[in-house]
Structure 1
Amino acid sequence: MAEKQTSANRLENNSWLAKLIPEWILTYDTSRLPADIIAGLVVGILVIPQSLGYAVLAGLPPVYGIYASIIPVLVYAWVGSSNIQAIGAVAITAIMTASSLHGLAIEGSVQYAMLASLLALMMGFILWLAGKLKLGWIMQFISRGVSAAFVSGAAVLIFVSQLKYVTNIAVSGNTLPGYATSLLTQLTTFHLPTFIIGGVSFTLFMLNRYASHWLWQSWLPPAQAKWVGRLFPLVVVIVAIALSHFGQWSNQGIRIIGEIPSGLPMLVVPKFDSLSQVATLLPTAGLMALIVFVSSSSVASTYARMRGEKFDANKELQGLGLANIAGGFSQSFPVAGGFSRTAINADSGAKTPLASLVTVLIMVATLLALGNIIAPLPYALLGAMIMASILSLIDVETFKTALKTDRLDALSFAATFLGVLSFGLNVGLVIGIIVSFAGLIWQSSQPHIAVVGRLEGTEHFRNIHRHDVITYDNLLIMRVDESLFFGNSQSVYNQIKEALNQHPKAHELVLIMSSVNHIDLTAQEMLITLNRELKATNKRLHYSFIKGPVMDIIEQTPVITELSGRLFLSTMQAITLLTDNDRHNDIYPTIQKREFE
């Protein structure tokens, strides 16, 4: 009797259907359901006031923040790359939206909202197209130090930005100096009851996160302690809403999120007055697409690495793109992966995108029925939870490791981190990328070249400064450990000449080319010059182990046609022939130029 097919196997047989349904649904483990539901509930409740605030920051009616957390979130959950990234309205897209639409329409107007949706549509199309063209490799040029520092710097700025909620001080800005200046000039607005609520909440969240071993595990079984820890933030939220409602906290000057307008977003086609508006928005849309991709990918890849999951940059591009395209038609504005909401999602135990679907249900329920119920939620508690969650994204360990093992990456980390704090996310990211590329160029311009000798009893060759090896008076063997190009050819030439000066008895120079994958025109000219100089002083240049693709480039050039020495398949062959005095004078008339791999 044939075995009964599982639903996943049946879907796999229908390839077109399998392509439409994401893998996480086909392979969903129901044991993850409780964790996903809890995470979705926590994120859904806590990002409501945050979403309202970001909409206002973008110059839109507050309810647009909720709209941006429905259709785009559903689309990303279906096609996105990350299992736990929570997308929606974020500070950087809100700020850039307000900046790009300034002067094009009146803030809060219908036309302004249409242009915001148009901007989301344009940015989404650029992201989607980049994904289709498989441009996710761009992330490969964002070094580990830059991405970790960008996330860490953004986390610090978000942490500081939440002070306005936990202290009632009107802190504003987009850089650390800006926030500090604002804080010092607005100290008179400090509100003690708000600070008490925020401080107590922050302490509770930090204890739950970093001291759960004695807070819960000391008196509960491990399985129960885990769930108590995950449910604890939700319990704190419910208690705070109840206390706020019965204690009339709003009458005591404590800010609460208040009543939320009802009604779901409508499906509309973004309208614009003229093509000039589209042309005006296009550069901003392109820049936002790049920043959204880098920031979202940095967060998603960081958590993927922490959780041992795969991350597909091209899939991430398409997921972000389709989410913004869908948002463009559903009264949204540009969205991205949120640092704080993703941190809360992960901290609350999310396992799959199902948590985001639960969050969407909370948003829908909020618009339809729950607006009055969550209205008493104090902003101070929201800020405290974001502050506690965001701390985990400050990646000090990567910087410590870089200091020990890769000083250039440590420099890139420091430049990016300080740039983000001092000049904001956009400029900080650009500074980090520039420093990273400058370091790469400098490193490539200083290639490692070693003088090598033979390990006794073997055919292996090692650096004379690291190993006890056999050397030869008439023979200088050097290993080139980089490809040769215009940026390092002069440095290579200088190192070779210096080595020749240190070994005046050597009349035969053998360059081991096993690590050379390319030789450009400038490097070819350098090798030709080196060969001619050696020939003029009765010395000869030889090559060993030239790779086939490299030989294809230089075979018909003077690098080979004018070579004073010969080519060797191996360095051992060079040793055998160049140190054999009986044959030494007879090897040059029969140069075998095709002896290469």
Structure 2
Amino acid sequence: MLRKYFPILTWGATYNRDTLTNDLIAAVIVTIMLIPQSLAYALLAGLPAEVGLYASIAPLLLYALLGTSRALAVGPVAVASLMTAAAVGQLAAQGTPEYLGAAIALAFLSGLMLLGMGFLRLGFLASFLSHPVISGFITASGIIIAASQLKHILGVKAEGHNLLELLTSILGRLGEINLPTLVIGAAATAFLFWARKGLKGYLKKRGYTDKMAGILARTGPVAAVAVTTFLTWAFGLSDWGVRIVGEVPQGLPMPTLPPLDLDLWSKIAVPALLITVVGYVETISVAQTLAAKRRQRIDPDQELIALGGANVSSALSGGFPVTGGFARSVVNFDAGAETPAAGAFTAVGMALATLFLTPLLYFLPQATLAATIIVAVLSLVDLGALKHTWSFSRPDFAAMAATILVTLASGVENGIVAGVALSIFLHLYRTSRPHVAIVGQVPGTEHFRNVERHAVITAPDVVTIRVDESLYFPNARFLEDTVYAQVASNKALGHVVLMFPAVNDVDASALESLEAINERLTDSGVTLHLSEVKGPVMDRLKRSHLLDDLTGRVFLTQYDAMKALAPELTARTLAACRRDTLRTAG
């Protein structure tokens, strides 16, 4: 039980010097990457810069203790930061104690929800968010985040919770652009894009190894921060209107409690739930992808507990909601992290940064942090997925497109709610019209296939309907209509066989439909039979009156059914093909 809830007892038992070395190297690389990111995501969430640092210490320690992924890097991420700003921005003004208190409460409540879901083993609930919905939401969020940072690049004031509001606000203030800020922001953005795409190749041409070039390329944001901070200080650019981070409190975060305000908690309950679900889906996707590469496994329910503990610890140390970051986790993985201890070492590095580096951040331009955010989030935008989804599944495309459009037009909360609602609606619609097929015998075999796809033999007085989905309340009436249509179109029909090889469940509504079909076919002089019923479904049917009232029989296989109902035709179909085969062989 202890090993289940504290995975550190498992991997810690085999920890050695080589593992320590690899984890330390990975921690140094991730720390260098995380320092500018944590500052930038605090800015995105509308919080003081130090809050990003605080959210990058305790959560990493808790995840190292409770997490099952060996490479996941927990901390502030773009989407959760945007959702935090959207939720808290409706309750208080940025820069006020009430705003910070609401963000802390949001992290605490989200952590409690994650812990509750983990102890109740509700990890499966995340499956209700389909991949197209998540992909559409992240794409739209990336566009909104990038648009929201343009004001920092241009040096103007702009407000808005959706793309239209942001762009309208920015366009109305183009005459107020601060030129030094624009130069810094544009140069930093261009450099970071080049560092992401071309710096590694440039360094390899200069003789660096592939690994070393990759490590140095990831320090691009730190280089941008250092250079622009120095230039702002050296040339006094803050006097020219360049907005800077300003004083960042030096020292470790002090323990704090979230506001115990029930009215506040009720207002942030829905946003906390959305952050919980979206954060968990993103976390579990990254963790499973990286675990598969090393043939490792993770425990989804324990990940809920680990992520919940990380968020509670973030709140208690003055931070905001955190989750598993894709880019950081990939860097952590590529850098050679072998255990969650790498995250704990990263936390130590972030703690040292809060103790000794914060005075150096005073002249850091907000435009540089905005450039860091823009470059990071645009990698999440995947409009090409719309084309692929359209060609594969129109309903999934509809869910994805609706999520993108609603998020862009109405904000992140409405976007994710719309996507989930549409996904559930489309699922109910699809399953309300399950695939059914009239099947016949493949000559020379005991197999049965769709009459519309294969050359098969059917008996004139027997129709076999293969049901390719579980039966429950949305599709029960559809099955009735299908059976009655077959009976009405064939006056010679004497037997109906419902073939259930793909039916995994039958609920009470579907049971009533089967009973109604049996009664109506009896009145029409037609016998109802079942074939290839799975064991669990048969167990459930035995607890009802259907099998007692069934006018026909339950057959183990469809071949048994046809051998009993049309024996001569079935035997002749099987034998004829065998004679042709023997004649050809002879």
Q: TM-score range by the shorter chain?
A: 0.7 to 0.9
1:35 CA drift (Å):
4.1
Residues 552-597 of structure 1: CA deviation (Å, up to 9, x unaligned): 33346553333232222221112112123699xxxxxxxxxxxxxx
Of 274, 277, 292, which aligns to 1:294? 277
1:176 CA drift (Å):
1.0
Gaps of 5+ in 1: 1-11, 584-597
Say whether residues 1:175 and 2:148 are aligned partners.
no
Once residues 437 and 414 of structure 1 are traced to their aligned partners in structure 2, the CA distance between those partners, rounded to angstroms, is 15
Deviates more, 1:301-310 or 1:480-489: 301-310
**Contact 1:237/1:381 (CA < 8 Å) preserved in 2?**
yes
Listed as ranges, the matches of 1:487-566 within 5 Å are 487-555=474-542, 557-566=544-553
Deviates more, 1:545-554 or 1:61-70: 61-70
1:442 CA drift (Å):
0.5
Residues 284-338 of structure 1: CA deviation (Å, up to 9, x unaligned): 45424322222222332343355354554323322232223334433x1542227
1:382 CA drift (Å):
1.8
Partner residue, 2:266: 283
Partner residue, 1:472: 459
Tell me: CA distance 1:576–1:79, structure 2 relative to 1, closer, same or farther (3 Å).
same
Of 244, 254, 261, which aligns to 2:242? 254
TM-score of the pair, normalised by structure 1: 0.82
Say whether residues 1:195 and 2:195 are aligned partners.
no
Tell me: CA distance 1:173–1:440, structure 2 relative to 1, closer, same or farther (3 Å).
same
Tell me: CA distance 1:157–1:79, structure 2 relative to 1, closer, same or farther (3 Å).
farther
Partner residue, 2:355: 368
1:211 CA drift (Å):
3.7
Partner residue, 1:34: 25
- Paired letter, 2:275: V
Residues 266-288 of structure 1: CA deviation (Å, up to 9, x unaligned): 2345575xxxx33x234345424
Say whether residues 1:134 and 2:118 are aligned partners.
no
**Contact 2:228/2:364 (CA < 8 Å) preserved in 1?**
yes
Once residues 36 and 572 of structure 1 are traced to their aligned partners in structure 2, the CA distance between those partners, rounded to angstroms, is 63
Partner residue, 1:343: 327
Of 561, 565, 571, which aligns to 2:558? 571
- Paired letter, 1:552: D
Tell me: CA distance 1:529–1:510, structure 2 relative to 1, closer, same or farther (3 Å).
same
Residues 134-158 of structure 1: CA deviation (Å, up to 9, x unaligned): 1222112111112222222222211
SS at match of 1:542: strand
1:464 CA drift (Å):
0.9
Say whether residues 1:51 and 2:39 are aligned partners.
no
SS at match of 1:482: coil
Tell me: CA distance 1:49–1:116, structure 2 relative to 1, closer, same or farther (3 Å).
closer
- Paired letter, 1:180: L
Tell me: CA distance 1:530–1:190, structure 2 relative to 1, closer, same or farther (3 Å).
same
Tell me: CA distance 1:197–1:456, structure 2 relative to 1, closer, same or farther (3 Å).
same
SS at match of 1:90: helix
Of 290, 306, 323, which aligns to 1:307? 290
Say whether residues 1:165 and 2:152 are aligned partners.
yes
Once residues 559 and 395 of structure 1 are traced to their aligned partners in structure 2, the CA distance between those partners, rounded to angstroms, is 51
Say whether residues 1:205 and 2:195 are aligned partners.
no
Deviates more, 1:540-549 or 1:519-528: 519-528
Gaps of 5+ in 2: 571-586
1:86 CA drift (Å):
3.5
- Paired letter, 1:287: V
Partner residue, 1:594: none
Pairs aligned (count): 556
Partner residue, 1:592: none
Listed as ranges, the matches of 1:206-285 within 5 Å are 206-211=193-198, 214-220=201-207, 221-269=209-257, 272=260, 277-278=261-262, 280-284=263-267
Q: Percent identity?
A: 30
**Contact 1:40/1:357 (CA < 8 Å) preserved in 2?**
no
Listed as ranges, the matches of 1:445-460 within 5 Å are 445-460=432-447
SS at match of 2:483: helix
Residues 182-214 of structure 1: CA deviation (Å, up to 9, x unaligned): 112222221233222222222222223234575
Residues 455-494 of structure 1: CA deviation (Å, up to 9, x unaligned): 1111111111111112222221111112222211211122
TM-score of the pair, normalised by structure 2: 0.84
